[in-house]
Amino acid sequence: MSAQKPLELILARNLLSSLSTAAFLVGDDGGLLFYNEAAGVLIGKRFEETGEMTAGEWTQAFGPYDEDGNPIDYEETPLTIALRAGRPHHATFAIRVADGDRREIEASAIPIIGSGGFSGAIVIVWPVYGDGDGDR
């Protein structure tokens, strides 16, 4: 049985469930707590198939990867560094989807700060298409 999650994480999960944009919820330790249906479509696996994952498990399964295809350590990602400092951050990187292909995405991460301090983050994600001229 897992420990009770802070209220702000419960509310964040409820919010993510209603979004049509891909979004992930991570805890203060980097563990993947939830992702919504749109994120499941993006990565090719529903949350019900994966469940909660540690930071090591989800980075092994999905990435992130740098522009040369090398894995980026979770602790060294600009998103992680900014979130731990209590600041939002935006980045572009690649992830691995269920079929094994890599896909370039943009991600904006927003820290969740509760009464006990940093509780986790919401990460909103969308795929990068084409040459960036706005055509999708």
- The pTM score is 0.87
Give residue 1's pLDDT: 45
Q: Locate tokens 């600041």: which residue?
A: 87
Question: In this predicted model, what pLDDT tens digit does every residue of 47-104 receive, in sequence order?
Answer: 999 999 999 999 989 989 988 889 988 888 877 887 888 899 998 999 999 888 999 9
**Average per-residue pLDDT for the chain:** 89
Contact 48, 72 (CB under 8 A): no
Q: Locate tokens 């940093």: which residue?
A: 118
Question: In this predicted model, what pLDDT tens digit does every residue of 25-60 receive, in sequence order?
Answer: 999 989 999 999 999 999 999 999 999 999 999 998
Q: Where are the domains of the chain?
A: 7-127
In sequence order, the 6+-apart residues with CB closer than 8 A to the CB of 2 are none
Q: What architecture does CATH give domain 7-127? A: 2-Layer Sandwich (3.30)
Question: Which has the closest alpha carbon to 108: 134, 83, 135?
Answer: 83
